[in-house]
Amino acid sequence: MPIELLKRRFDADEYQRMGRAGILTEDDRVELIDGEIITMTPIGPRHNAAVDRANRTLVGVVGNLAIVRVQGSVRLDVWSEPEPDLVLLRPVPDFYASRLPGPGDILLIIEIAESTVDYDTEVKASLYAAADVREYWLANLTTGTVTRFSAPSGGAYQRRQQHRAGESIAPDALPGCSILVDALLA
């Protein structure tokens, strides 16, 4: 007779309380995805270098037009609080000190991937599209490409474009802020 396993989903408020209570610490590399606490893979040197390089570039390019958040939480809905590598946020005076940014605050999410390409392409892209995040870029360190996902509808991105080193791209929300693809790769 098969055994039925019951899972306990956590909402974002419970997840935050676990952090405040010390159950989850800053040393725990986890994020809340669809009510489940998911352990994130360790970050290697190439991944760190790509995030740092992208951060430096984005801050210089967007200036005061957006807040650049590095590996910080966003609340997509009651069940999901991922920590994307980089997020461009609408500027607010308190820099989101009073609340986590939600889908309406997000101009662009960027994930840098080396060993998590499939997860970021399937799970993360679906999660972001379902939350109506207008644009998501996946920088693939293995292939040296950036995949741009845009036009979310019905829980999926309707447009998918691939960009290579030497090309420039600009977020749909900030068309005057062109970024070299190379700046997103290690």
Residue 120: Cβ-neighbour burial (10 angstroms; 0-12, 13-18, 19+) = buried
Tens digits of per-residue pLDDT, 14-48? 999 999 999 998 888 899 999 999 998 888 999 99
Q: How far apart, in whole angstroms, are the C-alpha atoms of residue 179 and residue 44? A: 24
Reading phi first (left if > 0) and then psi (alpha if -120 to 50, else beta), residue 151 is in left
HSE-up of residue 170 (Cα within 13 Å, Cβ side): 9
Helix, strand, coil percent content, the chain, rounded in steps of 5:
25, 30, 45
Q: How far apart, in whole angstroms, are the C-alpha atoms of residue 133 and residue 149? A: 10
Q: What is the pTM of this model?
A: 0.93
Evaluate whether 56 touches 29 at the Cβ level (below 8 Å): no
Residue 153's CB is within 10 A of a number of other CB atoms, namely 10
Residue 186 has pLDDT above 90, yes or no: no
Tens digits of per-residue pLDDT, 40-82? 888 899 999 999 999 999 999 999 999 999 999 999 999 999 9
Query: So what's the pLDDT on residue 134?
Result: 97
- Ordered by start, the domain boundaries in the chain are 43-184
Tens digits of per-residue pLDDT, 82-136? 999 999 999 999 999 999 999 999 999 999 999 889 999 999 999 999 999 999 9
What CATH topology corresponds to 43-184? tt1808, chain A (3.90.1570)
- Run of H or E including 26: none
Q: Which among 114, 105, 147, 109 has a CA at the least distance from the CA of 128? A: 109
Evaluate whether 150 touches 157 at the Cβ level (below 8 Å): yes
HSE-up of residue 84 (Cα within 13 Å, Cβ side): 33
Pairing outcome for strands 36-39 and 156-164: unpaired
- Run of H or E including 158: strand 156-164
